[in-house]
Amino acid sequence: MTILTKRFYLILIAGLAGGLSEIFWIGMYSAMTHTGGLEISRQITATLIPVWAGLSIAPLLGVVIHLALSVALAFLCCTVFIEPLGRRFGHAGILPGSMAVLAGVWVINFLVILPVINPAFVTLLPFLVTLASKMLFGWTMGSVVSRGLKNSMTGFLPD
């Protein structure tokens, strides 16, 4: 397997892991506070495909959309920010860099984009809960990338 193939799979796994960590976090919060987890997932669908929001499978579609966006986000974050930070600062730069980038993503999503395209989504959960969700994504993605680079791509980043 080439280094590019390993890198592709590593980022794919990091994105899925980050997305699943958010689902777990929001699921736990929803269970403890009786917040509608299905409504959150439905609103993900409503944000991207509003006409599908009323479908009975909209919550499932929301999960699929969320995971697809998580993988896309991981590819964007890793190629544009995380890997350059890793090359500059070594493995020590990956985790804090991942969390900082995801905090920036949260700011753009919850303070700029979502209030315009789906204001209902922004009101479903407290901001701190959604910020914690993004930080967990960043921590999970950064951990997977850092560990994967250490274990399988020796020489890709400085030690």
Give the pLDDT confidence of 50-103 residue by residue, as tens digits.
Answer: 999 999 999 999 999 999 999 999 999 999 999 888 888 888 889 999 999 999
Q: How many independent structural domains does the chain possess?
A: 1
Please answer whether residues 19 and 66 qualify as being in contact, where contact means their C-beta atoms are separated by less than 8 angstroms. yes
Contacts 24+ apart (CB under 8 A), 25-28: 25/132, 25/133, 25/136, 26/125, 26/129, 26/133
Digit-coded pLDDT (tens) for 92-141: 889 999 999 999 999 999 999 999 999 999 999 999 999 999 999 999 99
Report yes or no on 27 lying in a domain. yes
Report yes or no on 31 lying in a domain. yes
Digit-coded pLDDT (tens) for 39-49: 999 999 999 99
Report yes or no on 76 lying in a domain. yes
Q: Is the overall model pTM greater than 0.85, yes or no?
A: yes
Report yes or no on 159 lying in a domain. no
pLDDT band at 158 (very low <50, low <70, confident <90, very high): very low
Q: Is 90 left (phi over 0), alpha (psi -120 to 50) or beta?
A: left
Report yes or no on 38 lying in a domain. yes
Domain housing 41: 3-152
Report yes or no on 158 lying in a domain. no
Report yes or no on 157 lying in a domain. no
Q: How many CB atoms lie within 10 A of CB 141?
A: 31
